[in-house]
Amino acid sequence: MAETSYGPEVDMWAMGAIMAELFTSTPLFRGSNSVDQVWKICSVIGTPTKNTWEDGHGHGLSHAGNIKKLMFPKAYDGVDKLAELVTNADKNAISLIRWLCSWDDRKRPTTQEVLRHPFFASHYNVPKSIVTRGPTSPVASSAMKRKAMLYFRQFNKKQRIA
């Protein structure tokens, strides 16, 4: 929040939130403003602790504008309502969403780690060539994206036929 630049870790958080929304057909963290957003996040995954986010625990968030500092609500210490809210997802999906929406961005998975998660192993046959490649050049990355898109198109066609 209120950041001017971000890395792929933020995209991983978004992926977790979108994944939950795909299971529930409703946003997981629907906040009306920055303060409400933090409260919504805490009400689902709990207030950050020293274990879940060492650097952010007890410090709150700095914001631009009228809010100088936003402290985390203590009311949600120890709360984890993710499985309760995303009821039609299996344990592997909940595990992946929880990992993607980790408070500490350094603990969030990379795209390669996501593809190796049991959720994908139990639901989709992701080609090993996609899972085992590490970071590549933009040209190779584009080729890999095209290959992945082709694979998922073929997978979706098979699902529609079945």
Q: What is the pLDDT of residue 79?
A: 72
Q: Using CA atoms, how far apart are residues 133 and 72, in angstroms rounded to an integer?
A: 38
Give the position of tokens 């595990």: 95
CA dihedral over 40, 49, 118, 153, signed as positive or negative: positive
Question: How far does Cα 25 stand from its chain's mean position?
Answer: 16
Question: For residue 89, what is the DSSP state?
Answer: S
pLDDT per residue, tens digit, the chain (162 aa), is 555 677 899 999 999 999 999 999 999 999 898 888 888 998 898 888 778 877 665 545 544 343 445 667 776 766 789 999 999 999 999 999 999 999 888 899 999 899 889 998 876 666 666 666 555 444 445 666 666 666 656 655 655 555
Rounded to 5 degrees, φ, ψ at 28 are -75, -40
pLDDT at 11: 93
Q: Is the pTM of this model over 0.85?
A: no
Q: What is the pLDDT of residue 129?
A: 67
In 3D, which of 152, 115, 119 has the Cα closest to residue 131?
115
